[in-house]
């Protein structure tokens, strides 16, 4: 399992040398496919042979970039969290009024979760493992600390401007946003089977998104400030 091998491709020009220099592209390709495999089959069910067959990399090359399957799984988790946090960072909410900034953040979270089911499934799988592998990663903790800083900045501006009610914990606020946006994806299949209605179907998705935003804003905003 810990087998390693450096990818072939010596000095000089030629296709072999070109491939050897595309390390970041190869690593990104491995992580993309590995994330799909882990999300579909879990840590125990995913197979390195299958990941290698679907990538531009050999099995030996995968072990060159990642020591073993568990290391690849942790890296895939880190990449999944990095994608959502990088998306949040691009929102540029500091230039927006607090209510609009929070609205934008909730809308982004809802949209990201809807379009990245593999992220939801990997988080669910990691919860089955009681966060054991996530706990090995300082990267994930750092990425999510930034998420709390982001929502705390929006909330503190809202309190200072008198539009958000005081006394809320930014971590709890992040929890509430995550819960509302996460459930729509994580429990969609079971909820739809039980009640015979898919609330997240294409025709309902925009309404559901608006309701989630509205619930968060009503939770945070002082009643007289919410138009």
10-residue mean pLDDT profile of the chain (227 residues): values are 42 44 85 95 95 91 93 96 94 93 97 95 96 95 94 97 96 96 92 88 86 96 67
Largest separation between any pair of C-alpha atoms in the chain:
70
Sign of CA dihedral 181, 187, 193, 195: negative
Same domain, 103 and 215: yes
For residue 218, CA distances in Å to 48, 102, 206 come to: 47, 11, 18
Task: Provide the residue range defining the domain that includes 77.
Answer: 69-225
Same domain, 91 and 184: yes
Write down the pLDDT at residue 197: 87
pLDDT digits (tens, 9 = 90+) for 169-212: 999 999 999 999 999 899 999 999 999 988 878 678 899 999 99
Write down the pLDDT at residue 224: 56
Same domain, 152 and 164: yes
Same domain, 173 and 82: yes
Q: Which long-range contacts (CB under 8 A, 24 or more apart) does 84-90 make?
A: 84/109, 84/112, 84/116, 84/119, 85/143, 85/144, 85/146, 85/147, 87/112, 88/147, 88/150, 89/146, 89/150
Same domain, 5 and 97: no
Same domain, 118 and 175: yes
pTM as predicted: 0.84
Same domain, 52 and 81: no
Last residue of a domain, one of 67, 82, 112: 67
Query: Are 26 and 56 spatial neighbours (Cβ–Cβ below 8 Å)?
Result: yes
């Amino acid at each position: 399992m810990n087998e390693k091998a450096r990818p072939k491709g010596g000095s000089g020009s030629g296709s072999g040398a070109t491939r050897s220099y595309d390390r970041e592209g190869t690593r990104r390709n491995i992580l993309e496919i590995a994330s799909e495999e882990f999300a579909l089959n879990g840590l125990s069910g995913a197979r390195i042979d299958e990941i290698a067959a679907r990538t531009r990399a050999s099995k030996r090359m995968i072990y060159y970039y990642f020591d073993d399957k568990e290391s690849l799984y942790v890296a895939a988790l880190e990449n999944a969290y990095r994608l959502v946090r990088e998306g949040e960072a691009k929102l540029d909410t500091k230039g927006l009024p607090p209510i609009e900034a929070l609205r934008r953040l909730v809308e982004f979270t809802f949209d990201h979760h809807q379009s990245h089911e593999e992220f939801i499934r990997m988080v669910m799988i990691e919860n089955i493992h009681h966060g054991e592998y996530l706990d090995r990663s300082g990267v994930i903790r750092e990425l999510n600390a930034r998420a709390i800083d982001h929502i705390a900045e929006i909330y503190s501006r809202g309190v200072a401007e008198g539009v958000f009610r005081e006394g809320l914990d930014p971590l709890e606020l992040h929890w509430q946003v995550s819960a509302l946006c996460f459930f729509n994806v994580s429990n969609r299949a079971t909820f739809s089977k039980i009640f015979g209605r898919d609330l997240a179907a294409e025709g309902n998705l925009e309404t559901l998104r608006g309701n989630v935003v509205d619930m968060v804003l009503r939770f945070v905003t002082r009643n007289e400030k919410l138009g």
